[in-house]
Amino acid sequence: MTTIQSRARRAGIAAFVGTMIEWYDFYVYATAAALVFGPLFFPSDDPLAETAAAFATFAVAFLVRPLGGIIFGHIGDKLGRRVSLVITLLMMGVATVLVGCLPTYADIGFLAPILLIALRALQGLAVGGEWGGAVLMSVEHAPAGKKTFYGGFTQLGNPAGALLASGIFAAMSRGGDDFIKNGGWRIPFILSIVLIAVGLWVRYRVEETPVFEGKVEGRKQSMPLAFALRANWWPILLGIGLLPISTGGYYLATTYATAYAVGAPVGLDEQLILDAMTIASLVEFLVTLPVAWLGDKWGRKNIMYIGLVTSVLVFAPFLLVMPSKVEPLIFLLASLVRVTMSATYAPIAAILAQMFRPQARYTSIALSYGVGAAIWAGLSPWFATQLVAWTGSVWSVIAMFTGMAILAAICTRLAPQHSDEAPVTASFAARTDTTATPLP
């Protein structure tokens, strides 16, 4: 048991470090999109149009994530989880560093946004394969009864990456109002090269998962995608429906909230909202693993339900308090939103991983998460911006958030859960993967 726990810890740490780096790269882009990419790459007489255009490029990465899930899911199901994860980490790092070297619209005209979109798409391909593989690396190494906790290490990378990204931008904003706009925004992108080197070193030290070695080796599908669509189509659809708040709601509470706070008519100080988001990321980082631990004690679905209800109750006042500019409330609610979000995000790794049997599991989870993220996370900030433009009220965004939470609760209730300890029979390929096997 000691060996199992030791391997599980190494896998959990590797999943955490890798996803932290990947999400750092992702959030650096998200923060830059909210603050500076509009005027730098999509100049317009209308600031709202600039922001909407920047968020449209933000959405590009989510739209190509399903393709990344298919490509790297295939690699992960055929060659192993670790091989796929090393490739995705390298791809994300290269794309991020190159964004930091891009000339702006003022330098090369329309080629600037085209190159930005291309690199953003490359980021999306990498993340499309990264998350599912990191989840399987941590959950498949985990001992029975602790899968939600170890899956939480993968989820811990999200707030850690957000903390690094928002922290660097918060520090740079102290250089003056124009420092970030006049080239300072490039620094976080270029710094990614150091993090990538660390991540690759950590990932090379982790063994392949015992589930892949014991239950997938010798039973590999020649076409994992075809098998996933044939055997796992219903859990894949449910997985997509699980994600509105865990993915889309998260970006509404971070990326969209940042843009809403600093834009008209709210007009909050940029430094204030960056500091609030940095502290909120730290709070989420601190509570993610305890919440995942509770998932093994109380039931991962029960934690999900709690998170969905409380996130709605906190998200609404968070947006509504911003025009009042009451700083203590803004800081408090920004952190509370992230605490409630952690209850929808921490257990999602184990929930999704255990919705599929080992065969074609990487492809299935990557496809489910990739399509879900493309729909919910990729479009939510842009659609929220348009809703406010159409209705003139932030209440429309709150209503959208509430509807997303209701859908997620329904799909959580219907989601099957399987045990890796249950044997995989030879007849499995002939039946669909929709009957839940009780977890130990």
The answer to whether residue 210 is domain-embedded is yes
The answer to whether residue 17 is domain-embedded is yes
Q: Could you give the number of structural domains in the chain?
A: 1
The answer to whether residue 130 is domain-embedded is yes
Q: Which residues contact 3 (CB under 8 A, 6 or more apart)?
A: none
What's the pLDDT score for residue 219?
60
Question: 89 and 23 in contact (C-beta within 8 Å)?
Answer: no
Q: What is the pTM of this model?
A: 0.81
Output the domain CATH number for residue 307. 1.20.1250.20
- How would you label 189-198 residue by residue, b for 16+ Cβ within 10 Å and e otherwise? bebbeebbee
Question: What distance in Å separates the CA atoms of residue 10 and residue 84, rounded to the nearest whole number?
Answer: 18
> Dihedral through CA 415, CA 65, CA 290, CA 242, nearest 10?
-20
- Dump the DSSP string for 254-308: IIIHHHHHHSTTT---HHHHHHHHHHHHHHHHHHHHHHHHHHHHH-HHHHHHHHH
The answer to whether residue 131 is domain-embedded is yes
Question: What distance in Å separates the CA atoms of residue 235 and residue 414, rounded to the nearest whole number?
Answer: 9
Q: What range defines the domain where residue 356 resides?
A: 2-430
Beta strands in 35-118 (DSSP E): none
What's the pLDDT score for residue 1?
47
Question: What distance in Å separates the CA atoms of residue 16 and residue 8, rounded to the nearest whole number?
Answer: 12
What's the pLDDT score for residue 177?
60
What's the pLDDT score for residue 216?
57
Question: What distance in Å separates the CA atoms of residue 401 and residue 364, rounded to the nearest whole number?
Answer: 26
Measured CA to CA in angstroms, residue 335 lies from 39, 132, 319, 330, 341 at distances of 29, 27, 13, 9, 10
Q: Which residues contact 139 (CB under 8 A, 6 or more apart)?
A: 147, 150, 151, 154, 349, 350, 353, 354
The answer to whether residue 435 is domain-embedded is no
What's the pLDDT score for residue 153?
92
Question: What distance in Å separates the CA atoms of residue 50 and residue 246, rounded to the nearest whole number?
Answer: 27
- How would you label 258-295 residue by residue, b for 16+ Cβ within 10 Å and e otherwise? bbbbbbeebebebebbbbbbbbbbbbbbebbbebbbbb
Q: 440: exposed, middle or buried (C-beta count within 10 Å: 0-12, 13-18, 19+)?
A: exposed
What's the pLDDT score for residue 437?
40
Measured CA to CA in angstroms, residue 32 lies from 92, 116, 192, 240, 406 at distances of 17, 12, 14, 28, 31
Tokens 């740490």 correspond to 13
The answer to whether residue 202 is domain-embedded is yes
Question: 168 and 35 in contact (C-beta within 8 Å)?
Answer: no
What's the pLDDT score for residue 201?
82
Question: What distance in Å separates the CA atoms of residue 100 and residue 221, rounded to the nearest whole number?
Answer: 40
Residue pLDDT, tens place only, 298-324: 999 999 999 999 999 999 999 999 998
What's the pLDDT score for residue 113?
85
Q: How many other CB atoms are found less than 10 A from the CB of residue 336?
A: 19
Q: Residue 3 has which token pair?
A: 């060996």
Measured CA to CA in angstroms, residue 10 lies from 139, 152, 206, 341 at distances of 12, 14, 6, 26
Question: What distance in Å separates the CA atoms of residue 6 and residue 150, rounded to the nearest whole number?
Answer: 12
Question: 342 and 313 in contact (C-beta within 8 Å)?
Answer: no
The answer to whether residue 256 is domain-embedded is yes
The answer to whether residue 436 is domain-embedded is no
Question: What distance in Å separates the CA atoms of residue 383 and residue 436, rounded to the nearest whole number?
Answer: 36
Which residues in the chain land under pLDDT 50? Answer: 1, 422-440
